Structure 1
Amino acid sequence: MNISQVIKPNLVLYDLVANTKKEVINKLADLYQKTGVIQEKEAYIISVMKREEEGTTGIGDGIAIPHGQSETVKESAVVIAKLKEPVEWHSLDDLPVKYVFLLAIPDEGDQEHLKILSQLAGLLMDDDVRIQLEKSKSKVDLINIFKKGVDQL
């Protein structure tokens, strides 16, 4: 599976209002439940928070890639959210997070999980992609950044 298959316009949020990591994850899980990606929100959140306890998913430069793998996930997906205000995430660079990429992976999707995570991390390590994120002014801008980035993979 390619990352372009899991990035969908209905899973992109711009200027999400949240004050904590848990609130961000909760709001993004709401979107997953509303769009049918997950069946049970609480079970999914538990899988995401369990992963967060293993080590931060705040990779630096204002970016976090939390992820949950659970039987409640019906299909692999990624929510892209630009936060209205940065949120503390205990990131590797000790800076708060402005962009969250929450992955949902079915229980049996181990290889899929690693491939999507690798592709996403690769895109986000690109200086041009991070500059475009900073310049983005809308949901459409965010979608276009990743459509272009995926084409370059």
Structure 2
Amino acid sequence: MAEIAFTPDLVVVIDNATTYQEVESILAERLVQLGYAKDTYPQAIAERETNYPTGLDVEGINAAMPHCDIANVNNPAICVGVLKNPVAWRKMDDPDATCQVSLVTMLALTEAHAHIDMLTKVVALIQNQDLMKQIVGSENADEIYKLIAGSLS
């Protein structure tokens, strides 16, 4: 399996987004800008989220895990957005409902099965609510990177 990139420049602190669409656009554009994703990636993310929402309500600090088809990715990476103001995100298990999301882990993968392993790691991270509080409470992308990196390796 190809190494999945996760570096400090793949962590974005977002303090001005008001919709999940804005958040997805910010993170998807970062992946394109850094060369991990193709120009088709932002639209593919938006379309997939419309059909298959990724909000995960853990009755605490909630998260979302948007991803799309591997055809839209150049090199595997994970981009993390920490939202200073949570936004309503359609829930994975109940698309007609929303939850307030504070952490977004956007997956850009090049192998169809690779997302299962990474999703498992992301879910474990989300379930660690003490760590989630530290992540969401941080203002600094480098600090957030250090808090998350161990969970995703």
Instruction: Please classify the TM superposition score into its range, dividing by the shorter chain length.
Output: 0.7 to 0.9
Contact 1:14 1:138 in 2 (8 A): yes
Match of 2:104 in 1: 100
How many residues align? The count is 146
Where does structure 2 lack aligned partners over 5 or more consecutive residues?
Answer: none
Q: How does 1:41-80 map to 2 (within 5 A)?
A: 43-60=40-57, 61-80=61-80
| 1:16 Cα deviation from its structure 2 partner | 4.2
Question: Deviation of residue 46 (structure 1)?
Answer: 3.0
What is the deviation of 1:48? 1.6
> Considering only aligned residues, what root-mean-square deviation do their CA atoms show, in Å?
2.3
The aligned amino acid for 2:43 is: I
Q: Which moved more, 1:31-40 or 1:135-144?
A: 135-144
Instruction: Give the deviation of 1:53 after TM superposition.
Output: 2.9
Larger deviation, residues 90-99 vs 58-67: 90-99
The answer as to whether partners of 1:44 and 1:70 remain within 8 angstroms in 2 is: no
1:1-153 matches, within 5 Å, as 1=1, 5-40=4-39, 43-60=40-57, 61-91=61-91, 94-106=98-110, 109-150=111-152
Give yes or no for contact 1:58–1:89 (8 Å, CA) kept in 2.
yes
- The residue matched to 2:117 in structure 1 has which SS? helix
**Secondary structure at 1:7's aligned position in 2?**
coil
Q: Which amino acid aligns with 1:51?
A: R
Which structure 1 residue ranges, 5 or more long, are not aligned? none
Q: Distance in 1 between matches of 2:27 and 2:145?
A: 17
- TM-score, normalised to structure 2, is 0.81
